[in-house]
Structure 1
């Protein structure tokens, strides 16, 4: 496996339509992901958000949707304002009975400045693990109640 690529899989106890909505509806995204001003699952749609390792250290994330297959696949670019590099985040969904297998792949992390410790691969790995295995899991549990 490429050490510069993050690949995670998670089986959620929810149908594909529920997980797709969580990934593409800005109101739902705010409940588990980032506070996006706007989001549309449309190729070419640009969005941004602010996030970082601490309240004192925040980065503006610049993103553009590059691929959409409704209820199956969503890909967007991920860059940082003021920094070189561009990466891509892909979410793929597949139905497994009444559950959803979500596969996340984040590539291109090695294009970010290696001199910036916040852009180290282990930080992205920890971030995505927290987002999928804690935040999104808690969101799914809350709507299943």
Structure 2
């Protein structure tokens, strides 16, 4: 893996179809990820959303699905409106029966760094770890479902 890539892995106590739904149904995504108004796991589908640190500025994320294979893989571009760079986020799912291994990779992160300190690799590492190990975990394994 390239040194500018980020890798986050976690095995969830949830079947693969539930994890796939969490990654692809915009009503589910709003509960743990970002407020995405419309989403379709189809190659070429474009979506956007606002996001940033709680205390800092919010940025318009512009994304396009590049790969979608149900219950296996979802990949999309990740860039920011009016900022340099373009990266790729890939979610891979591996069926472990009643559990699912999720492997998130974010590649070409270095292309975003020119946008300023908010786009430093360390911030993406922190953000993805929080999203996967806290938000997604609570959503999939929480008792509120």
| TM-score bracket, shorter-length normalisation | over 0.9
Q: Deviations over 1:35-56 (max 9, x none)?
A: 0010000000000000012355
Give the total of aligned pairs: 145
Q: How many angstroms apart in 2 are the aligned matches of 1:69 and 1:91?
A: 10
Residue correspondence of structure 1 range 4-43 to structure 2 within 5 A: 4-43=4-43
2:27 aligned with 1:3, yes or no?
no
Partner residue, 1:95? 95
Partner residue, 1:84? 84
Partner residue, 2:110? 110
Query: Could you say what the CA RMSD is over the residues aligned between the two structures, in angstroms?
Result: 1.5
Q: Contact between 1:83 and 1:113, CA under 8 Å: does it hold in 2? A: no
Equivalent position SS for 1:84 = coil
Q: How many angstroms apart in 2 are the aligned matches of 1:16 and 1:42?
A: 18
With normalisation by structure 1, the TM-score equals 0.94
Structure 1 spans left out of the alignment, 5+ residues: none
Structure 2 spans left out of the alignment, 5+ residues: none
Q: How many angstroms apart in 2 are the aligned matches of 1:110 and 1:56?
A: 21
| Shift in CA distance, 100/141, structure 1 to aligned 2, threshold 3 Å | same
Q: Deviations over 1:53-103 (max 9, x none)?
A: 235501000000000111100000000000111000000001112100000
